[in-house]
Amino acid sequence: MSELQVVCSEQCIRSAVERLACEIRSDYQDKNPLLIGVLKGVFVFMADLVRSLNMPLEVEFVRLSSYGYGRTESSGDVKVIHGLESGIEGRHVLVVEDIVDEGRTLDHLLRYLNEQKPASLKVCALFNKPSRRQVPVNIDYLGLTIPNVFVVGCGLDYDEKFRYFPDLRCLDD
């Protein structure tokens, strides 16, 4: 599938991750932040970000789902499939997302996390598709804004395929 058009190169993504790590490191120095990644798509970005951060922090993962099998549109019905294993009360929480599209997933997750009274709650997303937003969400640390196309690679999938591309590619013709 190497003919899929590249939307963001590996180098471009690496620079964005390094810039995000610099911003986050200066804001969270000595705060032992808890990074909460949204599975599955975030696993590549989370690994790159944590290595770039190179500072004391903890990592957790949650899994949410709103996509049916083989679809490129959200069903709009977000569910927490796997929640947190330990409490976040009093913690400095940074949600780490691969991509924000309609905003429903993030909105749902932020409500779920806010109920548990973290000391602070911010969002870091590698990719943003603002033209598709249905629910307003604030992204505190944003990597790259991309056009309104369905993308794969860098952990992102279509029907569980193409997560392995090191760059971001467009699935649409």
Determine, following the binding rule CB under 6 A, whether residue 144 of this chain makes contact with ligand IMP: no
Give the residue with the Cβ less far from ligand IMP, 33 or 41: 41
Give the residue with the Cβ less far from ligand IMP, 28 or 105: 105
Q: Is the peptide bond before 122 cis (omega within 30 degrees of 0)?
A: no
The set of residues, in sequence order, having a beta carbon less than 8 Å from that of 15 and lying 6+ positions away, is: none
d(CA 94, CA 35): 5
CB of 11 to ligand IMP, least distance (A): 21
Partner touching 94 among ligand IMP, Mg ion, none, CB below 5 to 8 Å by kind:
none
Determine, following the binding rule CB under 6 A, whether residue 156 of this chain makes contact with ligand IMP: yes
Active site residue 101: yes
Neighbours of 113 (CB within 10 A): 19
d(CA 167, CA 149): 15
**CA distances in angstroms from 30 to 56, 57, 92, 160, listed in the order given:** 8, 9, 11, 38
The mark string for 95-114 relative to ligand IMP (x by CB under 6 A, - otherwise) is --xxxxxxxxxx--------
Determine, following the binding rule CB under 6 A, whether residue 38 of this chain makes contact with ligand IMP: yes
Determine, following the binding rule CB under 6 A, whether residue 52 of this chain makes contact with ligand IMP: no
Q: What is the DSSP letter of 136?
A: -
139: three-class secondary structure by DSSP: coil
Give the residue with the Cβ less far from Mg ion, 32 or 171: 171
Give the residue with the Cβ less far from ligand IMP, 34 or 125: 125
Partner touching 156 among ligand IMP, Mg ion, none, CB below 5 to 8 Å by kind:
ligand IMP
